[in-house]
Each structure stands twice: as structure tokens, then as C-alpha cells.
């Protein structure tokens, strides 16, 4: 068997973060922000991105204090072993839930747009097995896969929207910032669901070769994700207006449906976008799948994460099928992002940071050894 | 791994000790041993000769008829020993003391000789086409290199023709092949390490590399794996390829085979390792990545724009060869709504009254095409044309007229076929042609999603795959911008200042920046002019 040394470069981290964050969220993000902040979606995403960047850097800072340990190990030193174990278990579930949510939304979309007569179970299970096939080989192939798929995801999506540039009505973004601060923060909170994924930094640090460049790559990952979201929201809200956008489930796909290039023979770009979007979702699923199994293997102190890859498939499959309809899926997704994500993205890193400073752990540990 | 090496290494040493039969002083004993070993080999020729003024010294030469250059033996061995040696008159004392030395250094006029004292090695040399000269009263045996058999002359490489570029291809003789590479690179650092693999065939295998450029990790891996081969015979470099590659389950070739010396030389300069095998015109280049399978030597000889376009065309061709029948199936069976309405109507009209579903139709046609191709390859040229007629006219035309296949399907098959031949590497083209059937099945089951699944599975396989430690998809993964200049496109040659980043080459610089030089020369001119003016 091919041995991979399972270390990735800072550039790969950047791309892995981007592909992990960009997932099912792009479909509904314009609608979600429009619901909360009306025409100021772009600014809410900007705010969400900056907040995400701050917390991502905080998580990175925490991890860099324990460069050879993952979240599961170093939290044991900070907040006592039992609490650490409980939080780690929640983290494993958290990643699993996101993989399940992504695969469920993927199945629903595919069923509506491509395969109306195929049972959703088949779509979900094939996707999960494909993900398992990749995840078994570890981090290095995963990073390489993200690198390969990154241009395939970004370039066509960016180019596809350009022909609709003339349809944009800039007045759709007015009135500017006439929302209350509470509403605005709510809007920012909603966008966090789309930025979920950088929590993998909790686990990633020991597997990176050039950690000195890491800050820059985290910055570029989150900023480019933010710009990508803003780009899409700009087109969606700019064309439909926020009132129309917020009524739709997946305004992104509605916009795609309206695009056509009769000159280039492509009357309907849906097929292409569905193909690209399959990759987009795939990158998120395998990333969550991998980090869930990685956290679990660290928790149980096994040598390889690959033991848990296949057993995770039926669990994710069942979890994906729990919600009875797409509405419930988004309801659950809302709960998860409002409670668990906020905990893992914001509350936990701040808590850990305070404890770290109080206990004066980390750096000093290194100096001693 | 090192542990195993140690064990295996020791075993090897022991084996050689055990096998080595030292030659004795008596000519008769030595000859008897050789004759005994080569019993019933009627192509072996023994020649007893008596040398010296009174013909008192007994010598023997042994060689294999047909493998040796008879003229060389007659003129430079027998003539020298029997006639010329009488003209010169070394002191009798000297001869008595060491006849062997006198003959070896003063009599034989053949160019390439060596001495051995091991009878088994002597037999191996005889079997390789050398001539053994045995002496009475001395355990040393002189091996005169006299290989000279009927061989094919150098001819254009048939599988890799170019419009612009050298027409030389490798032949079946390893010596000629190494010489062809040497002619390209006149560098003392070009090393040719030769070994014999195959316990019965003792096939010569040469590992070529440039000492201060080669990626040491790759070289060590190649050497280690070659040493670990224990097999009775090596035919064709394909044996070696399959025995040293990392993943033998993979449909993709992890070693590039080529008939072109220029390709080998260029690869050596990039820091790769080449393996030449006796009896085959195919050299192996290691490590190989997916991008190198899409390169043709001509890319580098032509101007960059056309080369880049051709290269993009090849990548597109690979994708077309991979998915076009699958796309046909997916669109006709699952998503007629995704293609333009006019086309949908047209497809529906041509498929009117078609008895088979799209998948079956595509499968039959693709299988028929493969059948025709395979039959065409095996047949002699005149009949091969018949196959073309049968395939093109009778099957294609008749099947459409009979209403079994739609004309669109015939076009799809034809495009797929042409596209698969646009991939420069034959073995890579096979991989794509084979995977096409899997994509067809996936498309039949899941439509467009099936094709995407297929892509994800193939990509997963490719990102996991490594060729001698180098990721198979580099430089598209672990991105380095300077390497990308020679992957999907071929940038102007000015951009190839360094050797590929994926290889850990000690000497990185490939070229001095031409533009810098130009600026320097302009400045020099200006200075000269100024001097003149003053």
C-alpha cells in the first residue's frame, strides 16, 4: 500500500479550508441573509467573514501553543480531562452532523434538479461511500483532492455569473444599513453557517509542515471564502432583489436556472453547475468525514483514523435521513449553527484563551521541555 | 525496508560465493567444466590452439556461433595468436614466467577485453556473446568482447512519430541504445549503471541518470526495487515496469515507456531516471506523472503557443475519450431537459423506433469499436485495411440504416476513438479507454451524477497514487507555479529556468535567464560605443 506521510503545506491548508467552508451554504446563504438584514446582505457577510477570521486566528493561536497536539489532547491540559473528553465527543458529533447535513441537502437538490426518480437514499449512500474511499487514505490525498477541485469549483462559478452582470440593479442594495444593530448581528450569525468548517484548525495544526506561513494562509482562505460568498450574493440579490431572494429556498440555483448562453450552444447551465456543485459538496463532506474520524481516533488513542471511516458511513447515513423534509433539514441546520457552531467557533476559543492566559500554559511548556 | 535489504543483501553475497567456481590451473579441467555445463549446446564452438615458436603452449577459445563477430575473432584473436605472435619474439624467460600476461597485454588486438577467474561468470559471458580465451597453466581467463549478431538497424520510432524532431528510435540492443543516449548527452556525469536481472535470462538492464541532477530518493528507490526483483526471466521492459511500480492495481501507468532517445535525454536532464532493457526498444522513464503522459517531444521543438494549444487539446481529448459515451447515455436517458431543445428533439427523432436503450446501444458500439481495433492491430497490413472497410462502412453504415444504432451514437463512438488516439502515451490511452466503460455504467445508473461519481472515484485514485514518491497529479497538486508552466500548457522556453520542483534535484538551474543576458549585452554594447566616442 502507498504510504503517505500525512503532512501538508500551508498553501494546501488554505485551499482545504476554502473547500471545506464552501459547501451547502452557498445555495441558501443569499436567502438567509436577506431574511435578516434585507438589502444589506453583503455587509452582513463581510461582518461574518471578519468575525470568522478573528476566531479562526484565535483557534490557530491556541493550537500553535501546543504544536504537536490536536484539540483532543491539549484541551485535556486546559480544562481537565473529563470535560475535554465530553467536548471532544461533541466535536466528533458536530463534524458528523455537518457531513450528514451536507449530504442530505445534496441529495435533496440532486433529486429535484437531476434525478427526480432516484431514491434519495441511493444518492446519499453512494456519496458517503465515495467520501469514505478518499478519507481512508488520510490527510495528504484529501489536501491534494481539494487542490485539484478548487479551480474546477471556483473558475466556472465565477465566470458563469458574468453574463448576468447587465441584469443587476444596484438599487436592490438600498437602503444602506438601515437595520438595527441587533438585526445586523443576527444576520452575521446566520452567515456563520456558511463559514462553518474552519474549526478543522483545532485538529489540523500538528499535520502542517511550514507552520510559519499558516497565519497568511488562514487569512487568505477566509477572506477568499468571504469574497466568493459576497460575489454570489451580489449577483443573486442584485438581480432578484432581497424581497424575492428571501422567499426562495435556493436562490443560487434559481439564478443559475435563469442563465443561458444561446450562442455557445449551452442553453441550460444547470447540468454544469450541478456537476460543479457535486464537487463543492464532496469537498465539504470528505473534510468533515475525515476530521470526525480523526478526532475520534485521537480520543480513543488509536494509531490510525481509518478504522472509523467505514463505520462512520452508516451513522452519517442514518443521521442524514432523520429530518423528514428539506424544511426540517434547514431547521436543524439552524439549531446546529446557532448553538453548536457558536459554541465551537466563538465561545470555546475565548474560554480556552482565557484559561490559557490564567494557567500560563503552552509556550512555557515548550520552554521547559 | 533497510532491515530487509540487509537480509537480502547478505543472502546475495552468500549465493555468489557458493556459485563461484574458481578456475583451475589446468586448461583441461576448465574446458571440461565448461563443456559439461554447456553439454548438448551445439552452437558452442571450442577451438584448441597451440601457440609459440614450437607450439608448446596450449590455449583454447570458446564462443557461441551466431552471437559473435567472426571477423573480429579471426582477425584479432586467431590471427594475432597464431601468426603475429611468431613475428615478435619476446624473451623466453618472460614467456615462461607469465605467458598469460604476455598474451593478454601484447598479443590480443581486440579492443575490449577483461579477465576473470570464475568459471560460471565465464560461461555467462560466453552466453552473452563474448569470447573466452583459456590458458594452460593459468587460472585467469580472458574475455574478449566480440558481441556481433544480426540486429535491426536504427529506424524511426513507430509508436511515437513526430513531424519535427529526430527520427531515431531505440533498437533491441542495449549497447546501441545507451550509445544513442550518450550521443545526446556528452556529460561525464551521465552514469550508466548496468546489471543483469532474471535468473535464467540474465537480461542486461541499464539504469541511466545524471549524477548531479538526479533525484537521489527516486534513484535509490529504483535501485532498491530492481535489486529485489527475483524472477526467472525479463522480457520487454514491461516486466520491469510492472515489477517496480507502486500500485499494480492501478489502470494508470506509473512508468513512462518511450522509444525515443531524445525523450529519454530530456527526462534525464529534468532529473529523472531512465531504465534501458536489452532486447526491447522501449525505455522506461521514472518518475512519471499524469502530466508527462500528455507531453510529446515535439511540444518543446515547436513554438510555445501551438504547443500549448495542442497540449490543452490532448487533455480535452482525454476527457472526451473518458466521458463522451457516458454523457450521451446520461443526456438521452436521464436529462433530455439539460441540452438545447432543438438538439433534444433531434436526438429523440433519430432514436425513434430504436429497439435498444441508450446504454445498450452505446455499449454495443463501443465494444464493436474495441473489437475492430484489436482485430486491426493483430492483422497484417493488407488485411488490416479490410477491417477498416468492414468497420467503417459495413458496421457503421449498416447498423444505422438497419435502425439499430442512431447516427449520433456512431459519431460519438468515432469521436471517442479519435480522441483516445490523441493521447501521446499509448498505455495512458488504454487506461482512459478502459475507464470509459465504467463511466458508461455509472451514467446508465445515475445519469450525470454517475459521471460525477466516476470523476470523484478516479480522482481519488489519482490523488492517492504516487510514482516513486512523487504525487501522480503533480504539478496540479502541491502547486508550484514554475512547474505549472510545463503542465497544462507549455510556456515559452524562457520560463523553464529551473528543473521540475517535484523532483529533489541538487542542481536546480536549467538555464540562465535569456532576458538578463540580453540586457547585459545591450549595456555592454552601449559601453563599447561610449568608449569609442571618447
Q: How many domains does chain B have?
A: 2
B452 alpha carbon, distance to own chain's centre: 34
| Domain encompassing residue B82 | 20-144
User: B477 to each of B235, B473, B484, B487, how far by Cα in Å?
Assistant: 35, 6, 10, 11
Is residue B2 scored above 60 in pLDDT? no
Taking the alpha carbons at both ends of chain A, their separation in whole angstroms is 36
Q: Which residues of B touch A267 (CB under 8 A)?
A: 339-341
pLDDT tens for each residue of A248-303: 888 888 888 887 666 666 667 778 888 888 999 999 999 999 999 999 998 888 88
Q: Using an 8 Å CB-CB cutoff, list chain B residues near A9.
A: 478
Facing residue for A137 by CB, picked from B246, B340, B464: B464
pLDDT tens digit string along B65-86?
888 888 888 888 888 777 776 6
Least confident of A84-93, A348-357, B77-86: B77-86
Searching chain B, which residue's CA lies closest to the CA of residue A5?
Answer: B469
Interface of B with A in 472-511 (CB under 8 A): 473, 476-479
- Tell me whether residues A2 and B465 touch, CB distance under 8 A: yes
Q: What is the ipTM of this complex?
A: 0.91
Percent of residues, chain B, with pLDDT higher than 90: 26
Instruction: For residue B97, tell me if it sits in a domain.
Output: yes
> What are the residue ranges of helices labelled H in A162-269?
181-195, 201-204, 214-240, 242-247, 251-258
Sequence-ordered list of residues with C-beta below 8 angstroms from that of B79, at least 6 positions apart, any chain: none
In a domain, B347, yes or no: yes
Q: How sure is the predictor about B15, in pLDDT bands with cuts at 50, 70 and 90?
A: very low
The residue in chain B having the minimum alpha-carbon distance to the alpha carbon of residue A276 is: B452
Is residue B398 situated within a structural domain?
yes
Q: SS3 helix, strand, coil % of chain A, rounded to 5?
A: 80, 0, 20
> Which of A35-44, B11-20, B121-130, B381-390 shows the lowest mean pLDDT across its residues?
B11-20
Residues 93-112 of A with CB under 8 A from B: 110
Say whether A145 and B463 touch across the interface (CB within 8 A).
Answer: yes
Composition of chain B by helix, strand, coil, percent to 5: 55, 15, 35
Kindly list the residues from chain A whose CB atom is less than 8 angstroms away from the CB atom of residue B447: 114-115
Q: Say whether residue A285 is in contact with chain B using an 8 A CB cutoff.
A: no
Could you tell me the pLDDT band of residue B10, with boundaries at 50, 70 and 90?
A: very low
Distance (Å, whole) CA A124 – CA A81: 36
Of B339-353, B359-373, B403-417, B428-442, the poorest mean pLDDT is in: B339-353
The residue of chain A nearest to residue B449, with distances taken between CA atoms, is A275
B190-197/B141-144 β-pairing: unpaired
Which residues of chain B lie closer than 8 angstroms to A270, CB-CB? 338
CB of A115 less than 8 A from some CB of B: yes
Looking at residue A367, its pLDDT comes to: 42
Residue B429 lies in a domain: yes
Suggest the residue from A10, A114, A132, A210 to mutate for an interface test with chain B (most B CBs closer than 10 A): A114
Q: Which of residues B110, B144, B178 is at a domain's end?
A: B144
Strand spans (E) along chain A = none
The residue behind cell 465551537 is A344
Q: Do B247 and A2 touch (CB under 8 A)?
A: yes
Residue A174 has pLDDT above 60, yes or no: yes
What is each CA distance from B169 to A338, B288, B293, B426, B525, in whole angstroms? Answer: 68, 20, 18, 16, 45
Is A275 in CB contact (< 8 Å) with chain B? yes
Task: Choose one of B144, B166, B194: the last residue of a domain.
Answer: B144
Which of the pair, A128 or A70, is modelled with greater confidence?
A128
Lowest pLDDT segment from A79-88, B149-158, B508-517: B508-517
User: Domain for residue B519, yes or no?
Assistant: no
pLDDT of A262: 62
Cβ <8 Å between A270 and B460: no
Give the closest residue to A268 by CA, choosing from B445, B342, B411, B450.
B342
- A275 vs B340, B446, B452: nearest CB: B452
- pLDDT one-digit tens code per residue, A184-231: 888 888 887 788 888 898 888 888 888 888 889 999 999 999 999 999
Domain layout of chain A by residue ranges: 10-363
Interface membership of B464 toward A (CB under 8 Å): yes
CA distance B419 to B130: 48
- Quick check: B460 and A145 CB within 8 A? yes
A306 in contact with B, Cβ within 8 Å: no
Q: Which three cell numbers stand for residue A295?
A: 478526532
What's the CA gap between A21 and A171, in Å, rounded? Answer: 30
Question: For residue range A50-77, what is the model confidence (pLDDT) as tens digits?
Answer: 999 999 999 999 888 888 888 888 888 8
For residue A145, pLDDT beyond 90: yes
Residue B36 contacts A where some CB pair is shorter than 8 Å: no
In angstroms and rounded to an integer, the radius of gyration of the C-alpha atoms of chain A is 20
C-alpha distance from B231 to closest chain A C-alpha (Å)? 22
Q: Is the pLDDT of residue B9 over 60?
A: no
d(CA B397, CA B379): 23
Q: What is the pLDDT of residue B11?
A: 45
Q: Which ranges of B214-286 does DSSP label H, i.e. alpha helix?
A: 216-227, 236-244, 261-270
Are B448 and A275 an interchain contact pair (Cβ–Cβ within 8 Å)?
A: yes
Is B343's pLDDT higher than 50?
A: yes
How far is Cα B201 from Cα B235, in angstroms, rounded to an integer?
8
State whether A114 and B453 contact (CB < 8 Å): no
Establish if B192 belongs to a structural domain. no
> Mind listing the pLDDT tens digit for each residue in B89-142?
666 666 666 677 777 777 777 778 888 888 888 888 898 888 888 888 778 888
A115 vs B334: CB contact, 8 Å cut-off? yes
Q: Which of residues 212-271 of A touch B (CB under 8 A)?
A: 265-268, 270-271
The SS3 assignment for B131 reads: strand
Give the chain B residue whose CA is nearest to the CA of A110.
B449
Report the pLDDT averaged over residues B500-525.
Answer: 76
Nearest to A148 among B247, B446, B477 (CB): B477
Q: What percent of chain A has pLDDT over 90?
A: 34
* Architecture category of domain A10-363 in CATH: Up-down Bundle (1.20)
* E strand or H helix that includes residue A91: helix A81-113
Phi, psi of B490 (to 5 degrees): -120, 105
pLDDT number for residue A283: 94
Average pLDDT, chain A: 86
Amino acid at each position: 500500500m502507498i504510504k503517505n506521510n500525512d503532512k501538508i503545506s500551508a498553501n494546501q491548508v488554505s485551499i482545504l479550508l476554502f473547500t471545506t467552508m464552501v459547501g451547502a451554504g452557498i445555495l441558501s446563504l443569499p436567502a438567509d441573509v436577506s431574511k435578516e438584514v434585507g438589502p444589506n446582505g453583503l455587509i452582513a457577510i463581510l461582518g461574518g467573514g471578519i468575525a470568522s477570521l478573528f476566531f479562526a486566528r484565535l483557534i490557530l493561536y491556541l493550537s500553535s501553543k501546543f504544536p504537536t497536539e490536536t484539540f483532543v489532547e491539549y484541551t485535556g491540559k486546559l480544562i481537565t480531562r473529563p470535560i475535554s473528553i465530553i467536548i471532544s465527543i461533541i466535536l466528533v458529533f458536530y463534524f458528523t452532523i455537518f457531513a450528514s447535513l451536507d449530504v442530505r441537502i445534496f441529495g435533496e437538490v440532486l433529486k429535484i434538479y437531476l434525478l427526480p426518480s432516484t431514491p434519495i437514499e441511493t444518492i446519499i449512500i453512494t456519496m458517503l461511500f465515495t467520501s469514505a474511499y478518499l478519507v481512508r487514505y488520510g490527510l495528504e490525498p484529501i489536501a491534494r483532492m481539494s487542490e485539484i477541485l478548487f479551480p474546477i469549483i471556483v473558475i466556472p462559478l465565477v465566470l458563469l455569473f458574468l453574463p448576468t452582470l447587465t441584469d443587476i440593479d444596484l438599487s436592490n442594495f438600498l437602503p444602506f444599513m438601515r437595520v438595527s444593530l441587533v438585526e445586523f448581528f443576527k444576520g452575521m450569525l446566520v452567515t456563520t453557517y456558511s463559514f462553518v468548517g474552519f474549526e478543522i484548525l483545532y485538529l489540523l495544526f500538528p499535520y502542517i509542515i511550514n507552520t510559519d506561513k499558516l497565519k497568511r494562509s488562514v487569512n487568505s482562505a477566509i477572506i477568499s471564502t468571504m469574497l466568493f460568498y459576497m460575489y454570489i450574493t451580489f449577483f443573486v440579490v442584485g438581480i432578484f432583489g432581497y424581497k424575492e431572494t428571501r422567499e426562495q429556498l435556493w436562490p443560487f440555483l434559481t439564478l443559475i436556472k435563469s442563465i443561458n448562453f444561446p450562442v455557445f450552444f449551452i442553453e441550460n447551465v444547470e447540468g454544469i453547475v450541478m456537476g460543479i456543485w457535486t464537487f463543492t459538496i464532496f469537498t465539504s463532506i470528505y473534510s468533515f468525514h475525515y476530521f470526525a474520524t480523526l478526532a475520534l481516533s485521537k480520543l480513543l488513542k488509536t494509531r490510525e483514523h481509518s478504522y472509523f471511516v467505514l463505520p462512520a458511513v452508516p451513522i452519517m447515513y442514518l443521521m442524514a435521513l432523520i429530518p423528514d423534509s428539506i424544511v426540517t433539514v434547514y431547521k436543524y441546520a439552524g439549531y446546529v449553527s446557532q448553538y453548536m457552531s457558536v459554541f465551537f467557533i466563538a465561545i470555546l476559543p475565548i474560554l480556552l484563551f482565557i484559561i490559557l492566559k490564567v494557567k500560563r500554559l503552552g509556550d512555557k511548556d515548550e520552554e521547559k521541555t | 525496508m533497510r532491515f530487509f535489504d540487509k537480509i537480502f543483501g547478505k543472502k546475495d553475497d552468500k549465493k555468489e560465493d557458493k556459485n563461484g567456481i574458481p578456475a583451475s590451473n589446468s586448461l583441461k579441467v576448465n574446458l571440461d567444466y565448461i563443456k559439461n555445463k554447456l553439454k548438448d549446446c551445439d552452437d558452442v564452438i571450442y577451438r584448441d590452439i597451440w601457440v609459440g615458436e614450437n607450439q608448446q603452449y596450449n590455449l583454447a577459445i570458446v564462443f557461441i556461433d551466431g552471437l559473435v563477430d567472426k571477423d573480429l575473432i579471426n582477425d584479432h584473436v586467431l590471427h594475432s595468436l597464431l601468426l603475429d605472435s611468431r613475428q615478435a619474439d619476446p624473451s623466453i624467460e618472460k614467456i615462461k614466467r607469465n605467458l598469460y600476461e604476455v598474451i593478454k597485454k601484447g598479443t590480443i588486438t581486440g579492443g575490449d577485453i577483461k579477465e576473470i577467474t570464475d568459471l560460471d561468470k565465464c560461461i555467462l559471458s560466453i552466453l552473452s556473446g563474448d569470447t573466452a580465451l583459456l590458458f594452460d597453466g593459468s587460472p585467469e581467463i580472458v574475455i574478449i568482447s566480440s558481441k556481433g549478431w544480426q540486429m535491426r538497424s536504427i529506424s524511426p520510432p513507430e509508436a511515437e512519430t513526430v513531424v519535427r524532431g529526430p527520427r531515431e528510435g531505440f533498437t533491441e540492443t542495449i549497447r546501441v541504445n545507451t550509445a544513442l543516449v550518450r550521443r545526446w548527452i556528452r556529460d561525464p556525469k551521465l552514469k550508466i549503471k548496468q546489471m543483469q536481472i532474471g535468473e535464467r535470462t540474465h537480461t542486461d538492464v541499464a539504469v541511466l541518470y545524471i549524477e548531479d541532477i538526479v533525484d537521489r530518493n527516486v534513484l535509490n528507490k529504483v535501485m532498491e526495487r530492481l535489486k529485489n526483483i527475483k524472477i526467472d526471466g525479463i522480457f520487454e521492459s514491461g516486466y520491469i515496469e510492472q515489477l517496480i511500480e507502486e500500485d499494480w492495481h492501478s489502470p494508470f501507468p506509473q512508468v513512462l515507456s518511450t522509444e525515443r532517445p531524445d525523450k529519454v535525454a530530456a527526462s534525464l536532464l529534468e532529473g529523472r531516471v531512465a531504465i534501458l532493457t536489452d532486447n526491447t526498444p522501449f525505455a522506461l522513464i521514472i518518475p512519471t506523472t499524469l502530466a508527462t503522459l500528455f507531453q510529446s517531444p515535439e511540444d518543446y521543438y515547436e513554438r510555445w503557443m501551438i504547443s500549448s494549444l495542442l497540449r490543452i487539446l490532448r487533455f480535452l481529448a482525454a476527457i472526451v475519450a473518458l466521458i463522451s459515451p457516458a454523457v450521451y447515455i446520461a443526456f438521452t436517458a436521464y436529462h433530455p431537459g439539460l441540452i438545447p431543445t432543438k438538439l433534444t428533439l433531434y436526438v429523440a427523432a433519430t432514436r425513434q423506433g430504436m429497439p435498444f436503450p441508450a446504454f445498450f446501444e452505446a455499449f454495443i458500439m463501443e465494444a464493436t469499436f474495441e473489437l475492430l481495433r484489436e482485430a486491426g492491430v493483430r492483422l497484417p497490413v493488407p488485411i488490416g485495411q479490410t477491417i477498416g472497410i468492414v468497420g467503417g462502412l459495413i458496421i457503421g453504415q449498416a447498423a444505422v440504416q438497419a435502425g439499430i444504432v442512431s447516427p449520433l451514437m456512431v459519431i460519438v463512438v468515432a469521436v471517442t476513438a479519435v480522441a483516445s488516439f490523441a493521447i501521446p502515451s499509448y498505455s495512458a490511452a488504454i487506461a482512459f479507454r478502459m475507464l470509459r466503460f465504467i463511466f458508461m455504467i455509472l451514467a446508465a445508473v445515475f445519469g450525470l451524477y454517475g459521471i460525477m461519481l466516476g470523476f470523484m472515484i478516479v480522482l481519488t485514485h489519482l490523488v492517492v497514487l504516487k510514482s516513486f514518491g512523487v504525487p501522480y497529479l503533480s504539478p496540479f497538486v502541491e502547486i508550484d507555479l514554475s512547474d505549472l508552466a510545463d503542465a497544462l500548457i507549455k510556456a515559452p522556453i524562457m520560463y523553464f529556468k529551473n528543473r521540475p520542483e517535484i523532483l529533489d534535484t541538487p542542481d536546480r538551474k536549467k538555464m540562465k535567464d535569456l532576458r538578463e543576458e540580453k540586457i547585459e549585452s545591450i549595456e555592454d554594447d552601449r559601453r563599447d560605443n561610449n568608449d569609442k566616442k571618447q
